[in-house]
Chain A
Amino acid sequence: AQKVTQAQTEISVVEKEDVTLDCVYETRDTTYYLFWYKQPPSGELVFLIRRNSFDEQNEISGRYSWNFQKSTSSFNFTITASQVVDSAVYFCALSERGGSNYKLTFGKGTLLTVNP
């Protein structure tokens, strides 16, 4: 069965610090997708990134970057020069391609608080 572990329950940083959110996953599938979603205090789930299991290239989008390492089953998320608006719960999620389902399995989330 698929599983996603986000060991960091809460992280608190001061604005402009860099912060890395960890995500470790388990799956028996060779084809799968990894995601990060942001949940601000307003409650909606905001899609940030999707990565498929065959693409281990790291990705950078503005202040956000993602490090995917199949060897350690990790998909970590780094925010550079954090801002107060980055304060949210961040969820890592896994979707296996098996079957016709593509359901998402979420980690427990990491609450990031960026203090001014």
Chain B
Amino acid sequence: EPEVTQTPSHQVTQMGQEVILRCVPISNHLYFYWYRQILGQKVEFLVSFYNNEISEKSEIFDDQFSVERPDGSNFTLKIRSTKLEDSAMYFCASLPVLTDTQYFGPGTRLTVL
């Protein structure tokens, strides 16, 4: 069964450094998402992406965040200058056009020191 994959599974970085989190969505899906879960808290929507552009972003998704689909398979989340409060699990999800079930990747745990 096809699945969403994410790399790396765990990333440790120093405050102020740039990080890129990578996702490979399911191949025939058209909608892509990033969510964030701070440890022990709920899963929060960050951004949605459709037709090569952002369709919606939350107030969390400020100027230090960006998303890109550089080729036909990868979907990336870049954090330009990480802060301690960016430490969280980041989930990628993709959605096929005809159904509304989002398939989540296993997540990337980001630790900012």
Task: For the complex, give the distance between the alpha carbons of A103 and B31 in Å.
Answer: 10
Please count how many residues in chain B sit with their CB below 8 Å of the partner chain's CB atoms: 25
**Chain B binding surface, main DSSP class:** strand
Q: Is A14 an interface residue (CB 8 A)?
A: no
A99 B104 Cβ-Cβ under 8 A: no
Contact string against B for A residues 82-116, beta-carbon threshold 8 Å, 1 for contact and 0 otherwise: 00000000010101010111111111110000000
Instruction: Spell out A's residues near B (CB within 8 Å).
Output: 33, 35, 37, 43-45, 47, 50, 52, 91, 93, 95, 97, 99-109
B56 A103 Cβ-Cβ under 8 A: yes
- By a CB distance below 8 angstroms, the chain A residues around B42 are 91, 106-109
B50 A45 Cβ-Cβ under 8 A: no
Can you show 27 pairs from A to B with CB atoms below 8 A apart? Answer: A43-B89, A43-B106, A43-B109, A44-B107, A45-B104, A45-B107, A47-B101, A91-B43, A93-B43, A95-B102, A99-B55, A99-B56, A100-B31, A100-B55, A101-B31, A101-B55, A102-B31, A102-B48, A103-B48, A103-B56, A104-B93, A105-B45, A106-B42, A106-B43, A107-B42, A108-B41, A109-B42
